[in-house]
Amino acid sequence: MIDRGALLDFVGLYLIPGIVTGCIYALGAIGVSLLFGILRFAHFAHGDLMTFGGYLALSVVWWLGWPAVAAIPLAAAGTALLAVGLDRAFYRPFRRRPTIVTVIASFGVMLMIRSAVQLVWGVEPLQYRPGIEPPLILFDALRIQTRHIWIVGVTAGLVLALHLMLTQSRIGRAMRAVSDEPDLARVTGISTERVILVTWLIGGALAAVAGVFLGMDSKLDSYMGWDQLLPVFAAAILGGIGQPMGAAAGGLVLGVVQELSTYNWIGEDPLVSPDYKLGLAFAIMVALLIWRPTGLLRGRQL
Amino acid sequence: MDAGTLLYLISLATMIGLYAILALGLNLQWGFAGLFNAGIAGFFAVGAYTTSILTTPPSADHLGGYSLPIPLGILSGVLLSALLGYAVARICLRLKSDYLAIATIGIAEMLRMMLRNEVWMTNGSRGIADIPRPFEGLAQPWGELSFLALVAAVVILLYAAIERAWRSPWGRTLRAIRENDEAAEAAGKDVIACRAQVFTLGSAVMGLAGGLMAHYFKFIGPDATEPILTTFIAWVMLIAGGSGNNRGAVLGAAVIWTIWSTTELLTQRLPADWQTRSSYIRVFLIGLLLQIVLQRFSRGLLPERPPRPKTWESPSKEP
């Protein structure tokens, strides 16, 4: 017999936070996966792009007094431009070199973004809006935070829009062509640089949205994006490299599994200590690298 | 020269030596074989924590200590670090190089998480204190000088050994694999085995650097394994010095650590508010320095010079 209160606790304290975390991973993983597919390198600075987006939204909140959700478009636009600028300055010079050189460059960019964030916004954790908001109560029983509804709703909308763009629009099809067959795409007259530009715009914008959500869900911290890097890579690998929709699914699965793993499935204690829930992403990733490096959805091997 | 300056110079030279060991280890992996290790901090931490737990006097704060002799502690750290490197190599080397980067960064972060949370073993964020330092019974500055001599001896021995490996058929095979693994495989070389060997060796050297560093500071905490101070700075040292050149690795360690340490001295004179800010500016500038070196001077201060087979030397050069 399942106790009603226990079920509501399970949904409210484990399942919903899992979906929310999964949405954040998904937004990061889509960018990483697209960049993997088109530029063929692991973008180590992606987590710190998230951090930057989150803090940019904080400045908008401060200047204009808007709520964090309303600041998303500006933060996304700013981060997308930063991503393109970073590509021009630090990644494009290495297009014809082995991709690992670009990985090293992104390693440096990662530190540059983070130290710039720490210089401008400081290292003390910050919040968009101080205080606690009362949760909405659905069906007289299920308590749910308004911000969680926003996070899940906006993520779903963005993933759907991206899916339509990749399958229906001209540039979206060009992106998939460059990802699948770069040489064939080039001879058919697709401008690779244009595809790369759009990829950075999308990757940067989605990273910023993820960063704002991270800040909304807890606090803004200069290391928050770095902490997402591992699960985001794991999600991208889980979904199959170069498969953005797979990455989104991978992110969602990872987020839910991670939160559910801390539930007391056996006995009284959490199955996995909350201190180690980030480690679960890593464990899943290692298992995938050993048995299914192409990901669950049969993407390309990197 | 007053005593303070002398002690500073000795500590500067000691740190350069310790980082030179780290850079030499990275040169084995990246310079020799083109293997990207983004988790140097992890291997460093294994070396440092192993010897700390083994050599400290018994303590209620952490596992052990077991009061074992220092050389035994460092050796154990080196072996464990090598074992970790071998495990990573076995899993990742079949895959494209980016996977190795992701997996190594993952290992390093997992270890950091463990060092923070497994308080019974590591005393968590408070770290392990009372680590013995060799020669600490001697009077100032002789104790410090003796430790410096020890580090210098390790650097020289390692340099000689790695330089010899570089010129050996094994080193030649590794360079061949780095340049074109398919051709090397076609020539009958066991690519995966060679890569695993060099990755394991490099990890062992990183563990050695970690162990020596723990004994030098007499304290180790999870912050010492912060990626900026180990992984990243070792990369900047190797690339600025010249990857693939062992002298370059040592020179890079000397140049970059001198810049890092002297700018810290300068910023200590600033008011407190500017001091914290300037530390971010320093990290930013080191990141920018890496970009400039990568784009403009990608061969480093001392570029790689593969040894030439004797038969290539023209007879006219002979006396």
Dump pLDDT digits (tens) for A228-251: 998 999 899 888 877 889 999 999
Please give the pLDDT value at position B318.
46
Q: Is residue B98 less than 8 Å (CB to CB) from chain A?
A: yes
Q: Which residue of B has its CA nearest to A117?
A: B280
Q: Is residue B88 less than 8 Å (CB to CB) from chain A?
A: no
Query: Helices B3-26 and B142-167 meet at what angle, rounded to 10?
Result: 20
Question: For residues B33 and B199, is the Cβ–Cβ distance under 8 A?
Answer: yes
Contacts B291 to A, Cβ<8 Å = 89-90, 105, 108-109, 112
B99 vs A104: CB contact, 8 Å cut-off? no
- Model confidence at A114: pLDDT above 80: yes
Please give the pLDDT value at position B313.
53
Distance CA A144, CA A137 (A): 6
Residues 123-162 of A with CB under 8 A from B: 123
* This prediction's pTM: 0.88
Distance CA B239, CA A261 (A): 41
- Model confidence at A266: pLDDT above 80: no
Question: For residues B81 and B207, is the Cβ–Cβ distance under 8 A?
Answer: yes
Q: Is residue A116 part of a domain?
A: yes
Q: Is residue B80 part of a domain?
A: yes
Stretch B119-145: mean pLDDT, rounded?
86
A111 vs B284: CB contact, 8 Å cut-off? yes
Q: Is residue B232 less than 8 Å (CB to CB) from chain A?
A: yes
When comparing pLDDT for A274 and A124, which is higher?
A124
Please give the pLDDT value at position A299.
53
Tell me which of A128-137, A192-201, B46-55, B108-117 is least confident.
A128-137
User: Which one-letter DSSP state was computed for residue B317?
Assistant: G
Tens of pLDDT, residue by residue over A5-29, are 777 788 878 889 999 999 999 999 9
- Model confidence at B276: pLDDT above 90: no
B101 vs A44: CB contact, 8 Å cut-off? yes
Q: Is residue B210 part of a domain?
A: yes
Q: Which residue of A has its CA nearest to B293?
A: A105
Q: Is residue A129 part of a domain?
A: no
Q: Is residue B232 part of a domain?
A: no
B291 vs A90: CB contact, 8 Å cut-off? yes
B287 vs A112: CB contact, 8 Å cut-off? yes
Question: For residues B47 and B209, is the Cβ–Cβ distance under 8 A?
Answer: yes
Distance CA A166, CA A175 (A): 7
Collapsing DSSP states into helix, strand and coil, what is residue B227?
Answer: coil
Residue A184: which domain range? 4-121+135-291
Per-residue pLDDT band for B315 (boundaries 50, 70, 90) equals low
Q: Is residue A286 part of a domain?
A: yes
When comparing pLDDT for B47 and B97, which is higher?
B47
Distance CA A4, CA A16 (A): 16
Per-residue pLDDT band for B188 (boundaries 50, 70, 90) equals confident
Query: How does the average pLDDT of chain B come out, rounded?
Result: 88
Using alpha carbons, list the distances in angstroms from residue A51 to A46, A155, A248, B229, B283: 9, 17, 19, 21, 17
A155 Cβ neighbours under 8 A, 6+ residues apart: A23, A24, A26, A27, A209, A213
Q: What percent of chain B has pLDDT over 90?
A: 42
- Model confidence at A301: pLDDT above 60: no
Q: Is residue B114 part of a domain?
A: yes
Q: Is residue B292 part of a domain?
A: no
Q: Which residue of B has its CA nearest to A282?
A: B106
Residues 76-105 of A with CB under 8 A from B: 89-90, 93-94, 98-101, 103-105
Question: For residues B177 and B184, is the Cβ–Cβ distance under 8 A?
Answer: yes
A115 vs B284: CB contact, 8 Å cut-off? yes
Q: Is residue B318 part of a domain?
A: no
Peptide bond into B141 cis (omega under 30): yes
Scanning A137-263, the segments in alpha helix (DSSP H) are: 146-168, 170-180, 182-187, 192-217, 224-238, 244-260
Per-residue pLDDT band for B112 (boundaries 50, 70, 90) equals confident
A224: domain CATH number is 1.10.3470
Distance CA A53, CA A211 (A): 6
Residue with tokens 């780290």: B22
Q: Is residue B91 less than 8 Å (CB to CB) from chain A?
A: yes
Q: Is residue A39 part of a domain?
A: yes
In chain B, the largest separation of any two C-alpha atoms, in whole Å, equals 71
For chain A, give percent helix, strand, coil, nearest 5.
75, 5, 25
Q: Is residue A256 part of a domain?
A: yes
Please give the pLDDT value at position B25.
95
Question: How many angstroms separate the CA of residue A302 from the nearest CA in chain B?
Answer: 6
As beta bridge partners, residue A136 has A144
Question: How many angstroms separate the CA of residue A14 from the nearest CA in chain B?
Answer: 22
Tens of pLDDT, residue by residue over A66-93, are 888 899 999 999 999 999 999 999 999 9
Provide the number of structural domains found in chain A: 1
A289 vs B91: CB contact, 8 Å cut-off? yes
Interchain CB contacts (distance < 8 Å): A and B = 114
Question: For residues A152 and A23, is the Cβ–Cβ distance under 8 A?
Answer: yes
Q: Which residue of A has its CA nearest to B36?
A: A100
Residues 160-189 of B with CB under 8 A from A: none
Question: How many angstroms separate the CA of residue B109 from the nearest CA in chain A?
Answer: 9
Please give the pLDDT value at position B319.
47
Please give the pLDDT value at position A215.
92
Distance from chain centroid for Cα A243: 14
Tell me which of A215-229, B92-106, B155-169, B211-225 is least confident.
B92-106
Distance CA A144, CA A138 (A): 7
Q: Is residue A230 less than 8 Å (CB to CB) from chain B?
A: yes
B106 vs A230: CB contact, 8 Å cut-off? yes
Distance from chain centroid for Cα B245: 15
Q: Is residue A10 part of a domain?
A: yes
Of B43, B38, B45, B40, nearest in space to B98 by CA = B38
Contacts B98 to A, Cβ<8 Å = 36, 41-42, 99-100, 103, 302
User: Which one-letter DSSP state was computed for residue A135?
Assistant: P
Q: Is residue A298 part of a domain?
A: no
Provide the number of structural domains found in chain B: 1
Q: Which helix (H) or strand (E) holds A144?
A: strand A142-144
Residue B146: which domain range? 9-224
Stretch B123-141: mean pLDDT, rounded?
85
Per-residue pLDDT band for B309 (boundaries 50, 70, 90) equals low
Q: Is residue B76 part of a domain?
A: yes
Collapsing DSSP states into helix, strand and coil, what is residue A263?
Answer: coil
Tens of pLDDT, residue by residue over A141-194, are 777 788 888 999 999 999 999 999 999 999 989 988 888 888 888 888 888 889
Angle at CA B24, nearest 5°, toward B109 and B169? 115
Per-residue pLDDT band for B151 (boundaries 50, 70, 90) equals very high
Q: Is residue B136 part of a domain?
A: yes
Question: How many angstroms separate the CA of residue A168 from the nearest CA in chain B?
Answer: 31
A104 vs B277: CB contact, 8 Å cut-off? no
Q: Is residue A111 less than 8 Å (CB to CB) from chain B?
A: yes
Q: How many CA atoms lie within 13 A of A241 on its CB side?
A: 25
Tens of pLDDT, residue by residue over B214-268, are 999 999 988 777 777 788 889 999 999 988 899 999 999 999 999 988 888 888 7
Paired tokens of A199: 């990829």
Question: For residues B23 and B161, is the Cβ–Cβ distance under 8 A?
Answer: no
Q: Which residue of A has its CA nearest to B231?
A: A107
Distance CA A215, CA A58 (A): 9
Paired tokens of A123: 């290292």
Residues 32-51 of B with CB under 8 A from A: 34, 36, 38
Of A2, A6, A20, A9, nearest in space to A254 by CA = A20
Q: Is residue A275 part of a domain?
A: yes
Please give the pLDDT value at position B44.
94
Q: Is residue A276 less than 8 Å (CB to CB) from chain B?
A: yes
Tens of pLDDT, residue by residue over B48-86, are 999 999 999 888 888 877 889 999 999 999 999 999 999
Sign of CA dihedral B163, B169, B173, B175: positive
